Structure 1
Amino acid sequence: MLFWIIVAVLIFALFQVKSLRQQWITGPAFKLFKKVLPPLTQTEREAMEAGSVWVEGDLFSGKPDWQRLYSMALPQLTAEEQSFLDNEVNELMTMIDDFDVIHQDKDFTDEAWRYMREKGFFAMIIPKEYGGKAFSALANSTIVSKIASRSVSAGVTVMVPNSLGPGELLSHYGTQQQKDYWLPRLANGTDIPCFALTGPEAGSDAGGIPDTGVVTMGEYEGKETLGIRLNWDKRYITLAPVATVLGLAFKLYDPDKLLGDKESIGITCALIPTSHPGVEVGQRHLPLEQAFMNGTTRGQDVFIPVDWIIGGPDYAGKGWRMLMECLSAGRGISLPALSTGNAQLSAQTTAIYASIRQQFGCSLYEFEGVQEGLAQLAANAYQAEAVRHLTAGAIDLGQKPAVVTAIAKFHMTEVARQSINIAMDIHGGKGIQMGPNNYLASLYMAMPVSITVEGANILTRNLMIFGQGATRCHPYVFDEMVAAAEPDFQAGLQQFEPLLFKHIKFALGNAFAAFGHGLTGARFASAPKDDANKRHTQQILRMSKALAICSDIAMLMLGGELKRREMLSARLGDVLSELYLASAVLKHFYSRGADSKEQPLVDYLIQQSLYNCEVALKGYCRHISNPVIGTLIKRLVFPWGSAYQPPKDTLKTQLALALCQDKALRDTITPMCYVGQNADDAVAVLNQAMDAIDALTPLMNKFKAAQKARTLPRKGSIFQLREQALAAGVISAEESVQIIAADELRKRVINVDEFDFDLSQASNADTKISHAA
């Protein structure tokens, strides 16, 4: 007994006496931490500190805060924003024939360009005092979504000036003089901006840009001026061929220390008129047959005054942080908006086409294989709208969630890619024949553009989501890294010591909770509502706890090596992403009034997310460095084996039938899908044909009764048997005309465009039927 008392006293003293504790416990732990952790560079620190942590921090820490999420009042469109959407946006759409824009003119008409400039399509984020519209992030997102469902080229053209670019950078960081001069000109369309970041030697690695500026004295407007001599070579720059003002990112050096005491100042952003001597712009790229302006800009020994730095000389070297904060907002607004327009157009048009098009005597949507694709289309459209609204709403609420916006960018562009692929598969030959009546081809061709910009999806998934998430969202890791970067060991240890014990307590709590939820199936976990989604929220909590403990184990075992184990860390990023997507779906459902018709969509998406979490975590356990540890983690998180299954076939059929048969629900989940008013608008014709065929339902019942009575042949559709039905008195002459009108619309939907042999002129698809098999 005395022995154990002595042991207990020694352990107590070890922890309570600071000198002993630091010598034997926290000191060695800190040394190990500094050894396994890679150095925290200033650039990395700025990237991690850029933006803010939002609900993703709760999910990463194993503590989803449902009260916070559900009570969050997301912004709605103002009357002014809604009016712009209903009027100016719709008017612009009538000016754009996407087929002509892409395949013939390779550009918008002068009328469309003038309209976009004069009506403020390039000034949505510029403050009102400078002549802009000061629209919300939600309005920006909604407008781009609507435009993109009509024309991706137009969507990108509008998106870029209202995302990362001179307008945003000036609004946040510009000097008063810069704002007073440039913002009114950008707002009224006098100037068109572009921003040059990417070059041949630096794509996703923005920190590795080779473009340089050297602080020196030079001549400007006949006077000796302190300035910068620039050399740059940029490509993939949207709007560059038509831009009148160039935002430029480069590395700034000051060898003569004219600005301060540092020779290497860092990444800097400047604003340069494209008419300035030495600036080269105008060489055009052709991004996958899209018509938006994209091209190159170069400059050699171009001298600019130092006052052209955005924010003035005080902001020299601060460009990296500026870019990180603005890039995250762009990811959260623009690209999810493009993807939502894509996903919703794919869902609406494919559902209608599958209802109209028949094979083997029945509509396409009656085939189970097609139903599987339609169910995913419905789910994707709903999820894209949920994520778009929540993420843009967060930005409007003052958040700058870098991790959330990376999640939104990656997953919504992948959702859009999946949707357009399913839509093309179901449309078959209709989807691959180009022409004015093909509403899918442009989306299909443009999809890789969204995948590659603002950080290619491989980079976003494998490096950014978890790479930033692990440090930004974890309650202690970033502070521990800052402590480890402290050059004075003792000072760093003082910061590290309290964090270490909090971290240990945090990890142990999550480990016990994850195991407990695994044993009980999370049935005793707290839930915000006792309704149909109670089990969903309990399971999300369970996976949140699992992610927290798995992340801590990975960081403990691998340290800095985890950064290079991209396939492993990406799986943890997948779990964080799925938890955010599931949370967005639940928020969307309740924000819209918890309509029971939408519950199957929620069930499908949550089941899919939970299943994806399990797949990712089991992959993590299988590939972590030590297989014994991997097995133990797997038993900790999934003590009874598999916990989740993908959605059942019956649920898929339910969603497919609802999408095709319930027009009100279809319109509800595809609100961003533009339906034109012109008689030749392909999506309008599609909807008109569906309405006309739906109106034939009473007549179809007459046909079925006549077929049952043997008055009409048993085989044949209402269109094939119309003349016989008229002759037999089953229908009236007026009803026959109604069937003919519906059949003409049906044929316009089914037929595809034809061209002369030189591919110069499209034939009228609703009157001419191809002779080719």
Structure 2
Amino acid sequence: MAYWLLFFLIAFVALAHARAGIRTTSLVLGAVTLFYGVFGESWIAFALMMIAGLLVFGPLNLPVLRQEWLSRPLFTGFRRVLSRLDERQLAALTGSGTGWEAELFNGQPDWSRFHESYSARLTPDERSLLDGPLAEFCSRYARDPETPAAHARLRAYGLHGLAVDGLHGGRDLSALAQSAALMRLSASAGSDLARRIGAPSRLAWIAALQRHGTPAQQSRWLPQLAAGANLQTIESGIAGDAVIEAGDEGPALLLTLDISLTADAEIVGCCVDLRDPEARLGPDAATGPTWLLLDAALLRDKRGPLRLPLEAVIGDREHIGEAARQGAESRAVADAIAPIAIHAGSTTALALAAGSLAKLHAPFGLSLGERSLAEEALATLAARATAAQALAALTARAVDLGEKPYAAAAFARTLGLAQARECTATARDLGLDQGLSARLVTDLDEPPSETLEPALVARTDVYSACVLRSHGAFMQALAAAQDPNPATALTRFDDALWSHVGHLFGTATQAFALGLTASSPLFGSSAPETQYLRKINRYSAALAFAADVSLSVMASELGSRKPYTALRAVREASRRSLTTWLGDALAQLYLASAALRQYDEGGAHLDERAVLELICTDAFSACEEALDRLIRHLSSPFLAWLTRRIVLPLGPSRRAPREATQRSVANQLQSDSRLRERLGERVGLPADASPWPLIDQALGLMRAGEAIEARAIAAKITRLSRHVPTRIDQTRDSGVIDEAEAQALRDWLAAVTRIQKPD
């Protein structure tokens, strides 16, 4: 009998792995049962299996019975869940995830498609712009963004128009090229100057104009924005009211705003609550939050309500009431490009400076690299800089592919902010917040909270939307629930539900199998990059299964008919945090994928394996931690136990990076290695960017004076002063070195002092 049980188990696992549908599963299991009836040992067991099979798979294979007995009650509960969501939450789910994050979330990432679609190069024209005008600007104003001429030069070089198409006076760069340009500006001239042309709010309005604006609006506003006109945006809610009234040439807007203009504002972008109390636009015309672009001069000169033509609405009357959708889409495009690119440039500049400063020391002193825990700190900076560059390229490429980059923007924001905090703390531990390198640390500080989209600060809301968008079955069920035809809606829901059941068993089988074998070299190539790819597949399947379990739990609680008590409200709030942990796990897999893609595009060089190991090890550890927290917060103990056995069959690994790997990365960051070369190439850091000339000068004097220093130390002169200038004089007076050699040590000390204490 044991052999027959094994036979049935193999058949079931094969069906689950193939994600077979109901009909295929019924035929295969029926054939296996008949095979047992012919060759098996017990007719009673055969009869019981046949009866059980008919009772279970009979109704499932009859659509009429399946829909009436099973799908309809579930569909009713699903509609009840949707009724608990407000309009804002439902509006955030208008577009399903079509990018790489959706494939990771559904447990079956197509790596061949990923490498084909997300591997892109800059065009010759884009490369010439980066290596020409942009490089010249960075060389002139490197690390001196407060120079008045720098702001004028930004306009002269046409750098404000990176995101504007060439027809309207812009540079017409792809999202990937925009990301590269902002990365270079941030690394060379500082993040403050990069934010002047790459502020997400500014890029969002440019994206809205290019995607939804009328030709007249594009011709009016885009040339001004490309020329560097100052745009003041009012994003913190509704800036005023607009009422439709009769005008000489048709309906017009009577606008009342409650805003304070800045002194340099030339264009104002705001969201107003548009109302049409007399139905002048028609009885079925949309109203509500609407985007407007206005000339700031009109607002300064006007007192009281302002009368405007209806064409002031972005996209004209067809886009009235669509501020939420336009804003979410346009801001996602901007956030997928700018913040992570600016962060990557600042992090790279800090990492390269830390590598150079780690070798530097004063005469008779210790270098930064010789301090305790310096290796771990330097390795962390190098890994975060590499990861930020990879993430910036991947999210920008998602925009170029025409995806709705909601998830990419959320990952860029949250991962970038987390990396910035970590790198800032690491740099301060190394003492890099003092001296000439302090400016580099300041660039990494988190931007003021008012510049952040509120929805992107609250990870629960934004990750909930990203998770649900990426869930294919949920989006199909949502579309079915919005179908006005009840019969068609039930059929669509039934198809989505039961086609996903096979997917659920498939992800469970894959997650369990890969959880047992993904780390073993016996089941594939032992190359590190291949093992990382298999681990991403493993955690992708685990994430897909855990998502189905947790979302089912959350839906059952949201759709419950029990009285809505305070205790239930607390439990539902706790359940909603499940989507946050799902989003955290998905973000880490997205980051690991970006690092692998960048590693492959760089030629899969052996010298870069160490930093790839750091990135992937941290990402997998964070992914496991998020899944572990999710499982611990499931309300059903049995469900939590079963999910843990499938998702983490061997328990959480959470391995820390190896010390040898950290040492290798730290050494590469301090030497003329391929890692350091690649980091510098991607940000195009000019040689004259401060503090590099002073660091290079100090390093040169240090190398020239090390032989003199070694001879002075070997002399073992008694009662030497700890004051370095006095010690140099004592060594000279003892005859160990001459005056020229003593002067070389003094020059070395002065160069180091200029870096450590520039004032």
Same fold (TM over 0.5): yes
**Match for 1:473 among 453, 470, 475?**
470
Query: Is the alpha carbon distance of 1:98 and 1:520 closer, same or farther for their aligned partners in structure 2, counting shifts above 3 Å?
Result: closer
User: Residue 4 and residue 625 in structure 1: after superposition, are their counterparts in 2 closer, same or farther (change >3 A)?
Assistant: closer
Structural mapping, 1:56-135, within 5 Å: 56-72=101-117, 74-93=119-138, 101=146, 109=148, 111-135=149-173
Q: 1:226 aligned to 2:251? A: yes
Q: CA deviation at 1:480?
A: 0.6
Rounded Cα–Cα distance in structure 2 between residues aligned with 1:477 and 1:563: 20
Q: CA deviation at 1:243?
A: 2.5
Task: Tell me how far apart the structure 1 counterparts of residues 402 and 203 of structure 2 sit (CA, whole Å).
Answer: 17
Q: Partner residue of 1:759?
A: none
Tell me what 1:430 maps to: 434
Q: Which has the higher contact order (CA 8 A, sep 6+)?
A: 2
**1:97 to 1:611, Cα distance in 2 relative to 1, 3 A:** closer
Q: For residues 543 and 166 of structure 1, do their structure 2 counterparts lie closer, same or farther at Cα, with a shift above 3 Å needed?
A: closer
Contact 1:451 / 1:457 at 8 angstroms: preserved in 2? no
**CA shift for structure 1 position 29:** 2.1
CA contact (8 A) 1:578 1:612 kept: yes
TM superposition shift of 1:427: 1.6
Aligned counterparts of 2:583 and 2:363: Cα–Cα separation in 1: 43
Q: Distance in 2 between matches of 1:525 and 1:318?
A: 55
1:525–1:636: structure 2 CA closer, same or farther, 3 Å change rule? farther
CA RMSD of aligned residues (A): 3.5
Q: 1:634 to 1:691 in 2, by over 3 A?
A: farther
Q: Distance in 2 between matches of 1:347 and 1:144?
A: 17
The aligned residue for residue 446 of structure 2 is 447
Aligned with residue 464 of structure 1, among 445, 458, 462: 462
Gaps of 5+ in 1: 102-107, 203-208, 281-298, 754-773
For residue 531 of structure 2, the aligned residue among 523, 535, 543 is 535
Three-state SS of the structure 2 residue aligned to 1:427 is coil
Partners of 1:525 and 1:65 in 2: how far apart?
23
Instruction: Name the structure 2 match of 1:598.
Output: 608
- Of 397, 404, 412 in structure 1, the residue corresponding to residue 416 of structure 2 is 412
Gapped regions of structure 2 (runs ≥ 5):
1-43, 559-571
Greater strand content:
1
Aligned counterpart, 2:370:
366
Aligned mates of 2:125, 2:746 — CA distance in 1: 43
Partner of 2:550: 554
One of 685, 688, 704 as aligned partner of 2:697:
688
* Structure 2 contact 518–531 (Cα < 8 Å) conserved: no
1:354 is aligned to: 358
Q: 1:64 to 1:451 in 2, by over 3 A?
A: farther
Give, as a single letter, the amino acid of the residue that structure 2 aligns with 1:659: L
Q: Is residue 179 from structure 1 mapped to residue 218 from structure 2 by the alignment?
A: yes
**Contact 1:373/1:422 (8 A) holds in 2:** yes
Aligned equivalent of 1:246, options 236, 243, 268: 268
Q: Amino acid of the residue matched to residue 464 of structure 1?
A: V
The within-5 A match list for 1:696-707 is 696=704, 700-701=706-707, 704=710
CA contact (8 A) 2:200 2:331 kept: no
Q: Of residues 264, 271, 277 in structure 1, which corresponds to 2:293?
A: 271
Residue in structure 2 matching 1:397, options 394, 397, 401: 401
**Deviation of 1:557 (Å):** 0.9
CA deviations over 1:198-249 (Å, ceiling 9, x no partner)? 2xxx4xxxxxx4743221125xxxx5652122234458x9xx5422122222
Counterpart of 1:496 in structure 2 is 493
Contact 1:703-1:712 at 8 Å conserved across structures:
no
Q: How does 1:202-213 map to 2 (within 5 A)?
A: 202=237, 209=238, 211-213=240-242
Once the two structures are TM-superposed, the CA of residue 10 in structure 1 deviates from its matched residue by: 4.5
| Aligned match for 1:156, one of 189, 195, 205 | 195
- Contact 1:708-1:714 at 8 Å conserved across structures: no
Q: CA deviation at 1:58?
A: 1.2
Summarize the Cα distance change of 1:11–1:617 in structure 2 as closer, same or farther, 3 Å threshold: closer
When structure 1 is superposed on structure 2, of 33-42 and 114-123 the one drifting more is 33-42
Question: CA distance change for structure 1 residues 386 and 124 in 2, over 3 Å: closer, same or farther?
Answer: same
Distance 2:62 2:681 in 1: 65
Mark the CA change 1:50 to 1:735 in structure 2 (over 3 Å): closer, same or farther. farther
Q: Secondary structure at the match of 2:434?
A: helix
Q: Are the aligned partners of 1:344 and 1:672 in contact in 2 as well (CA < 8 Å)?
A: no
Q: Displacement, 1:390?
A: 1.6
Matching residue within 178, 191, 216 for 2:245: 216
Secondary structure of 1:48's counterpart equals: coil
Can you list the C-alpha shifts for 1:301-360, whole angstroms capped at 9, x where unaligned? 332110111121222223322222211111111100121122112212223223224699
Separation of aligned partners in 1, 2:102 and 2:161: 33
Alpha-carbon shift at residue 582 of structure 1 (Å): 0.5
Q: TM-score, normalised by structure 1?
A: 0.82
**Residue matched to 1:288:** none
The amino acid of 1:245's aligned partner reads I
